[in-house]
Structure 1
Amino acid sequence: MEDITMLLSDSHIHTMFSSDSEENPVNVVNNAISLGFKHICFTDHNDFDAPLEDGKVMFNLDFPEYIKYFQNLKESYKNKINIHIGVEQGLMRSVADRVNSYDSAKQLDFIIGSSHLVYGEDPYYPEFWEKRSTKDTVLTYYESILDNLGCCHNFDVYGHLDYIARYIPANSYAYDWHDFDDLINTILKTIIEKGKGIEINTAGLKYGMPEPNPCLDIVKIYHNLGGEIITVGSDAHEVKFFAYRFDVVSDMLKNAGFNYYTIFNERKPEFIRL
């Protein structure tokens, strides 16, 4: 296991409550304790209007059961580790009302707002990329983020900001974030103006990318623009990827100018020094 001693919180974890994971949360908790972690936050998927897969509704979180389960787990382990309860919420204009009214009873500690769908279409599937040039498709993705920021407000950090880079078809376009720098700058300024943050998501490394999502350059821009809230998450769907390559993130945060990272408790940011 890599040296992760400087980062003792993973704020993006999926379990059997997500359609794309079968992991038992107890396995994750016990692993986190064995590694000396102080905090973990479970953030299972909820994506309203996600496309059907094999005729099944995907990413429709059973919220009451989810809250009940993790409140019990939190109580069971309260003397060993701080368990925070979160959700990764898919953002999109067509579901903005449902997103903004989610968890009206304020039972969650944390909400990641993510773009998994681009105006209802999923970049994971090859047919998404067939309607226009690859570069124009990436541009549409970033435009959709700005659109989401204009209508969806009930979240704390924007997840894996350059997520689209994971799915660009091979040999179709050499992705370069500089091609979209004006739009990315506007997105980051809007996030900051709205009092939101971003995350560093190490799943990109698992998929063979050279850097986490977003890349170091984008994190530096966020910091230079005055961004202060930044969480760290592995986006693990299996316990073996818990805190994946967090050693990279420690250096990345420092190189970007940060002396701390952020966790959320009852939807309020807490800053932990590196």
Structure 2
Amino acid sequence: MDYHIHSTYSLDSRMSMEAACLHAIEAGLQEIAFTDHIDIDWPDNSIPPFDIKTLDRYFEDIEKMQDMFKGQLMIKKGIEIGLQPHILNECTDIIKAYPFDFVIASVHIVGGVDPYLGVFYQGKTKEESYRQYYEEVLKLVKSYDDFNVLGHLDYIKRYSPFPVEETDHLLCTPLVDEILKTLISKGKGLEVNTSGYRHASGSPMPHPDIIARYRRLGGKILTLGSDAHAPEHVAFRFETALMEIKRSGFDTLTSFTSMQPEFVAIP
């Protein structure tokens, strides 16, 4: 299963839904979820926001793919919704208005700034920047309920300008563990995002040590996603990720239908 795929409904993707499905079948996948972006109140005015008025058409196009690939590929209706403290009610309104199978909650903006931008790190040490990001994630997962899994927990490492070190995943461990405990207590899951293998760290997001800590703390709900925005990244490095997941103590992944989990044995 690849539970994090972006089509051209995401402004940063160049992959059609049909191309994603064809590459998923070629990669031997049985199930995918389209999880295009909704980021309300995006701070960069040079980039047009995801227009939620297109959601009706988004669902229609997913249903077309379901018909086209029936019997070859299970296709779920998902979304990746970007959380910020002041838009949570709007996020809920969207999630409640449409029949989603699966919702990834991601934190792309901290204090009105995307960690993608260098300005986020100005005047901060590496640990201070990680701490600010994790504090925002913790605040949001405590405040928000209408999602299934938390996306790319250590997203900040993707864009951090500081040199990559093997111990980066140990930064702010008490904060990270509090995030994991909050997810577990609320019956929410964790995403393993393999786009991290394309990063200098060479590890998924989050790092396997964090996945193992989630398991030791009692976490059960785990999804696997490539975060693909291009055909060649569908199911990217899944074999490696599955070995890491097994070593972390998991023998199942989770699929979702109508936002309800079902555990699927890892082959």
Band of TM-score, shorter chain: over 0.9
Tell me how large the CA RMSD over aligned residues is.
1.6
Q: CA deviation at 1:67?
A: 1.1
| Residue 158 (structure 1) shift | 0.1
- Picking from 183, 188, 203, the partner of 1:191 is 183
* 1:58 aligned to which of 49, 52, 57: 49
CA distance in 2, matches of 1:92, 1:51: 11
In structure 1, the gaps of 5 or more residues are 1-8
SS of corresponding position for 2:172: helix
In the aligned structure 1, how far is the partner of 2:124 from the partner of 2:41? 23
Q: CA deviation at 1:32?
A: 1.4
Q: Which moved more, 1:138-147 or 1:261-270?
A: 261-270
Q: CA deviation at 1:185?
A: 0.8
User: More displaced, 59-68 or 254-263?
Assistant: 59-68
Alpha-carbon distance in 1 for matches of 2:51, 2:111: 18
Does the CA contact (< 8 Å) of 2:2 and 2:31 recur in 1? yes
CA distance in 2 between partners of 1:20 and 1:63 (Å): 17
Matches within 5 A, 1:51-130: 51-54=43-46, 56-61=47-52, 62-130=54-122
Matched residues in 2 for 1:250 and 1:178: separation? Answer: 22
SS class of match (2:156) = helix
- Other structure's SS at 1:146 match: helix
Judged with a 3 Å threshold, the aligned counterparts in structure 2 of structure 1 residues 174 and 136 are, in CA distance, closer, same or farther, namely: farther
How high is the TM-score relative to the length of structure 2?
0.94
The structure 2 residue matched to 1:31, chosen from 20, 23, 26, is: 23
* Alpha-carbon offset, residue 172 of structure 1: 9.1
**Contact (CA 8 Å) 1:51, 1:57: kept in 2 or not?**
no
Q: Assess, with a 3 A threshold, how the Cα gap between structure 1 residues 95 and 173 changes in structure 2: closer, same or farther.
A: farther
Deviations 1:172-198 (A, max 9, x none): 988623231111111100000011000
Aligned residue in 2 for 1:6 = none
Describe the shift of the 1:96–1:169 C-alpha distance in structure 2 as closer, same or farther (beyond 3 A).
same
| Matching residue within 108, 131, 138 for 1:146 | 138
2: distance between equivalents of 1:153 and 1:64?
A: 23
Deviation string, structure 1 residues 105-157 (Cα, Å, up to 9, x no partner): 44111000001111221000111111433321210000000110122211100
- 8 A Cα contact 2:164 2:201, kept in partner: no
- Whether the 8 Å contact between 2:154 and 2:205 is mirrored in structure 1 is yes
Q: Which moved more, 1:193-202 or 1:122-131?
A: 122-131
State the distance in 1 between where 2:166 and 2:220 align: 31
Q: Per the alignment, in what secondary structure is the counterpart of residue 96 of structure 2?
A: coil
- Distance in 2 (alpha carbons) for counterparts of 1:41 and 1:32: 11
Structure 2 counterpart of 1:46, one-letter code: I
For residue 204 of structure 1, the aligned residue among 193, 196, 211 is 196
Q: Which amino acid aligns with 1:146?
A: L
**Aligned structure 1 segments of 4 or more residues deviating by more than 3 angstroms:** 170-175
- Percent identity between the aligned chains? 35
How far has the Cα of 1:214 moved from its partner? 0.2
TM-score by length of 1: 0.92
1:64-83 per-residue CA deviation (whole Å, 9 max, x = no partner) reads: 11111112221222222111
Does the CA-based 8 Å contact 1:108-1:267 persist in structure 2? yes
8 Å CA contact 1:15–1:22 kept in 2: the answer is yes
| Unmatched runs of 5 consecutive residues or more in structure 2 | none
**Which residue of structure 2 lines up, in the alignment, with residue 169 of structure 1?**
161
Indicate conservation of the 8 Å contact 1:200/1:212, yes or no.
Answer: yes
Distance 2:166 2:239 in 1: 27
Read off the aligned partner of 2:83 and give its amino acid letter. L
